[in-house]
Structure formats: structure tokens, C-alpha cells
Amino acid sequence: MTWDPLEELTLDELRRRTSMKWRAHPADVLPLWVAEMDVNLAPTVAGALRRAIDDGDTGYPCGTALAEAVGDFACRRWDYNVDVGHTAIVPDVMQGVVEVLRLLTERGDAVVVNPPVYAPFYAFVSHDGRRVIEAPLGPEGRIDPDALAAAFARAGAPGGKVAYLLCNPHNPTGSVHTAAELRAVAELARRFDVRVVSDEIHAPVVLPGSRFVPYLSVAGAENAFALMSASKAWNLSGLKAALAIAGPEAAADLRRMPEEVSHGPSHLGVLAHAEAFRSGDEWLDALLRGLDDKRRLLGDLVADQLPGVKYQPPQGTYLAWLDCRQLGFTEEAADGIAAVADLAGPARWFLDHARVALSSGHVFGTGGAGHVRVNFATSRAILVEAFTRMGRALRASR
């Protein structure tokens, strides 16, 4: 049996954690929602943090170590070269998205997204005074070029600048966009004069059978931006840092980013993220094997416990998007921008009746209602217990 970072911690040990996943709900709830993983830190990352603490090295971040580490990783894993001179450290991915959108658009301008999509895309974009325009994914959970073209046309119609916030790989469907799909995106973006910002936070978490393509590596994407971070793949969300990368034609835009933005990431975050990209391959490969097993296990658990629910194994991320519409829990969601922890429909029902916390589909925008998102980055025992509880509650209700 090979080592699996997802099998190291017991439920009692996990319950001692004080982060959002483990504290947002009472202790009888099994949390399979927010994208934190139930793993220990990769040993080399923990070592780098311990050294910094022991040395009192807790000042402000400085230098290009994160960009160089991301660059080496991108070269090793994706055969892609990052130009370190065209990068900037940013506080985290979402703050980086906001800062890049400020370079490319003005208040009142439009930002196109592909629902169902990571819920904070709506909140961050609209809190910064930009309009969100939806280009829904196609029925297979993939980018629909016709919907994208229509949204680009609609977004640009009143005049003003348009940006497109791409999620690559896509949260919550786990779709890993192919080179051909991304080339089509780039062609449309050029045709409609739309600037692309590619959120690539899940890029290292691509499971066997698929290959991640950096958006900036495709022809036509030279004027785009990408955001990268180790926070999903190595579970470092509490250690704030991310990297903004400009394509060659966007380098001048990046130079307009205020210097103060680079004071936002924490120095410990930059150290940890850089160490993960530099020396975390072996740990990551073990994680990916574990996630591949869990992705299969999830198929069995859905078939056994939740008949009628549809599950398409994700190609990347540790998030599974379950279509629960046949269960008939049609509770209406509140209007307006939803917070990640808002609950309606099946997620509300499973929390109330099975004491399992899932992400509620409605927060992911158009097409999300009636779905739930399951974070399967946990142990086999916890997944089996959660789905057994849900199955039992469902059978008792029928």
C-alpha cells in the first residue's frame, strides 16, 4: 500500500483544528465543504516555516523566490516558462484577481464568468464596482464558445472595457480545459477585445488522465494574466500569498500595479508557497494518487447511497459536483450574491438530516441550484461515514 497524505489524520485530530472547515458547524457535523484538505503539511514546507520561526524571520516579504519556484515547477510539470520579470507577489489569489481587474477595467465595466463557478468570483468582482456577466458552461460542464461569444458581445455593448475571469481548472466541475478549448477562448478574446484573467489556483491538482495547460502558454493569450498559488495543492490557505503573472503584452499593465500590493502577502506565506513549489513534488504526487483513489471511491458511494444523483468524476481539483435535482429538494435560495457558506436545497437538507456539510450549488451562480459540491480531500473513513449518513437519511425520508 502506498503512502497517502489523506490517510494520516483521525477525525479526533481534525476536530482540534480551528480553521473555517472545522469550526463553522457544530462538532457532530462532518465537514466536506470549503476547500481545505485534511492533511498534514508537506514536511519540507513545515521545515521551512519552522526555520523561519526559529530564526525570528517574520518581517515583510521581499524578492522573487516565489516567482522562481513557480517558474521551475511550471517548467518541470507543464513545460512552460514563466518570465520572472513579468510577475508580482499579491496577497492571495482573489485579491490578486481584484488588483489585476483594476489594471484592466474601470468601475462599471463588465467581467465575464462561467457559471456554475467559484462563488466569490461574484462577490469580489461586484464589491469592486464591476458588473458580472454570465456565460454558462455547456451541459458537460465545459466552456461553451457560443455562450462565451454572446456574453463578450453583451458585456461590451454599452461601451467600456471587458475582462473575462477564467477558472482553469474549473471549480466546481473539476474540468481541466484542453489546449484546443483555451485556444478557442484566446481567439474569441482577441476578436471581442476582451482581457483574460486566468485563475490557476487548482493547476497543480490535475488527476491522472488529464494535463493542465497554462492559459498563458496558448497562442493568442500574450495579453492575458494568470494567478498561481500553492494554497489549494499544499493546503496553505492560512498562509497568504499568490503570484500574478503577466503575458508579454500585459507586462506594461502589470507595471502599473501599485508597489504596496506586494506588501500584502505574508512573508511566512511567501516562504511556504515558494518551498511547496520548489520541493513539494513528491508529496504532491502522493496526494494526487490519493485523490485519484477517492475520486473512484466517490463513484461507488454515490451509486450505493444516493441513487438518482449524478456524478461525473472530476479531471482536476478535489471537488466533486453532484447533480441532486432528481432528489426533488427544490427549496428556493435567497436573492442576491450568496456567501460561500449559504445553504439551500439539497445542501441544506443534508446538513439538517444527515449532519454532513456540503457546499450549496446555488452559490455558484446560474445552473448551480439543485447541485452540491463535495470536497473529497479527506480520509476514506470520513467519506464512507458521510455518504452512509446521507444515504440513511435519504432512505428514511422516502
Ligand X SMILES: Cc1ncc(COP(=O)(O)O)c(C=O)c1O
SS3 content of the chain, % helix, strand, coil (to 5): 45, 15, 40
Q: In b/e form, how buried is each residue of 244-271, taking b as 16+ CB within 10 angstroms?
A: bbbbeebeebbeebeeebbebbbbbbbb
Q: Please select the residue that binds ligand X; options are 171, 262, 266, 375, rule is CB under 6 A.
A: 171
Residues 153 and 103: beta-carbon distance below 8 Å: no
Residue 349 exposure: Cα atoms within 13 Å on the Cβ side: 22
Q: Please select the residue that binds ligand X; options are 199, 213, 215, 387, rule is CB under 6 A.
A: 199
Smallest distance, Å, CB 114 to ligand X?
11
**Start-to-end C-alpha separation, the chain:** 40
Smallest distance, Å, CB 216 to ligand X?
17
Q: How many residues bind ligand X (CB under 6 A)?
A: 14
Stretch that binds ligand X, among 24-32, 81-89, 101-109, 225-233 (CB under 6 A): 225-233
| Of residues 305 and 317, the one with the C-beta less far from ligand X | 317
Is residue 99 part of the contact set for ligand X (CB under 6 A)?
A: no
How far from the centroid of its chain's Cα atoms is residue 90's Cα? Answer: 16
**Contacts of ligand X in 18-77 (CB under 6 A):** 35
Name the residue among 386, 298, 381 with its Cα closest to residue 11.
Answer: 381
Contacts of residue 248, Cβ cutoff 8 Å, sequence gap at least 6: 83, 86, 222
* Residue 67 φ/ψ, nearest 5 degrees: -60, -40
Site string for ligand X, 67-96 (x = CB under 6 A): -------------------------xxx--
Q: Please select the residue that binds ligand X; options are 105, 114, 198, 231, rule is CB under 6 A.
A: 231
Smallest distance, Å, CB 317 to ligand X?
7
Rounded-to-integer distance, Cα 169 and Cα 123, Å: 20
Smallest distance, Å, CB 395 to ligand X?
32
Smallest distance, Å, CB 96 to ligand X?
7
Smallest distance, Å, CB 91 to ligand X?
8
Residues that bind ligand X (CB under 6 A): 35, 92-94, 118, 167, 171, 199, 201, 229, 231-232, 237, 242
